[in-house]
Amino acid sequence: MHVEFDNEDIQTIAATVVEMLKPLLKNNSKVRVGDNIFDVKKLACYLKVDESWVYKQVSLKAIPFFKCGKYTRFKKSEIDRWVESETVKPIPPLKMVNKRR
C-alpha cells in the first residue's frame, strides 16, 4: 500500500504531533531538576556551609566538581549522591544478653 500526502497534510500531522509531545517535554523538564548546576556560592547555600569549606573540599578533591574554564561548578545530582555516600548510618542498639552462671 502506498499513500501520498500533500504539504498541507504533512504540516497538519506535524502540528498534531508537536501538540501531543508538548506535555511530555514539559514533564521531562521537571524530572531534570536534579541536574541543576551550582557555582560555589549556590553550593555553599545548598549545603548550608561556608564558601571557604567548599573551596577546601575542592582543593582536597573530596567533593565532586568540574571546571568550566576557570570556574568551578557542581552537578546537583552528583552532590546529592556524594551526600548520601557520606551519610553516617546509625548503629542499631545492642541487645543485652543475660548470662546464666
- Say what the pLDDT of residue 18 is: 83
- Residue 76 in domain: yes
- Residue 42 in domain: yes
- Residue 15 in domain: no
- Residue 67 in domain: yes
Structural domain for 61, as ranges: 37-86
Whether 60 and 93 have beta carbons less than 8 Å apart is answered as no
Residue 69 CA to residue 10 CA, distance in Å, equals: 45
- Residue 25 in domain: no
- Say what the pLDDT of residue 31 is: 44
Quote the distance between the C-alpha of residue 15 and its chain's center. Answer: 32
Number of domains composing the chain: 1
Residue type, 101: R
- Residue 30 in domain: no
Whether 73 and 36 have beta carbons less than 8 Å apart is answered as no
pLDDT in tens, 49-77: 999 999 999 999 999 999 999 999 999 99
pTM of the predicted protein model: 0.57
pLDDT in tens, 18-50: 888 877 776 554 445 547 999 999 999 999 999
- Residue 18 in domain: no
